[in-house]
Amino acid sequence: MSERDLRRRCRRLLNELEIRPPLDVEELCRRFAQQRGRDLQLLPFDIPVSGPYGLWIGHDVADYIVYQQQTSPAHQRHIILHEIGHILAGHENRTPLELPLGLGRGGPGSPNEPVPFPDESRILYALGRSAYDHADEREAETVATIILEWASVLDHVVAGVAAQTAAQRMDMALSDRLGWL
């Protein structure tokens, strides 16, 4: 899929989901799941450094996005949106995947606390790579970047407009400068 098509698809999704600034990734996920008619759960996890930052697991009962809990909130949002990118672009890896993460243990709170994850034998597909040498990974990364750029621009425009004088709003409307993204 071309970047132009991805941008169009992302814009359409954000409009359909009626996502408004500021971007709330969890709300985006709730609305996306509702639109798809399929549960989507976000699972923070202490992923080993040698593993991927995130993982999308398509299970027969729901989709799961496992993401690194030992990183900044901004990076966590990017990871989650990257995995949403896989779902949005229709990527599926039907190759059996041995989950190297030990998803049965090491959940939030304690190294030995079980992660609320269903029977691994019922996993339909899983995507989790730690490199971007595959076209699917580049597409998913592009989706995350598009959504974050959209949110950044809207945050700037919406927040800035309320605090500006009439003259400042007029100047902004007549100029072609948005500032840094």
Residue 43 has φ and ψ, to the nearest 5°, of -125, 105
In a domain, 95, yes or no: yes
Per-residue model confidence (pLDDT) at position 158: 56
Residue 70 domain-assigned (yes or no):
yes
Residue 150 is assigned to a structural domain of this protein: yes
Residue 179 pLDDT exceeds 80: no
d(CA 123, CA 52): 18
Residue 84 structural domain? 3-174
Given a cut of 60, whether residue 172 has pLDDT beyond it is no
Residue range 112-139: mean pLDDT, rounded: 59
- Whether 179 is covered by a domain: the verdict is no
How many structural domains comprise the chain?
Answer: 1
pLDDT tens-digit series, residues 28-81? 999 999 999 999 999 888 877 776 788 888 877 788 898 888 888 988 999 999
β-partners of residue 66 are 43, 55
Residue 132 confidence class, pLDDT cut points 50, 70, 90? low
- Cα separation values, 174 from 75, 109, 168, Å: 35, 52, 10
Q: Mean of the pLDDT values across residues 171-178?
A: 51
Asked if pLDDT for residue 130 goes beyond 80, the answer is no
**Is residue 33 within 8 Å of 39, Cβ to Cβ?**
yes
- Res 37: pLDDT: 93
Asked if residue 90 is part of any domain, the answer here is yes
Q: Check whether 13 has a pLDDT greater than 70.
A: yes
Residue 181, in any domain of the structure? no
The residues, any chain, with a CB within 8 Å of residue 55's CB and separated by 6 or more, are: 47, 64, 65, 66, 67, 83, 99, 101, 126, 127, 128
Any domain includes 111: yes
pLDDT of residue 154: 61
Distance set, CA 168 to CA 2, 22, 178 (Å)? 37, 22, 13
At 79 the pLDDT is 92
The SS3 call for residue 40 is strand
Of 45, 35, 36, 42, the closest CA to residue 56 belongs to 42
Nearby residues of 26 by Cβ (< 8 Å), 6 or more positions away: 42
Structure confidence by residue, pLDDT tens digits, 82-117 = 999 888 888 876 555 555 445 544 444 444 444 455
Q: How far apart are CA 62 and CA 60, in angstroms?
A: 6
| Per-residue pLDDT at 8 | 84
Distance of alpha carbon 107 from alpha carbon 82, whole angstroms: 21
Residue 174 has pLDDT above 70, yes or no: no
Residue 26 confidence class, pLDDT cut points 50, 70, 90: very high
Residue 38 lies in a domain: yes
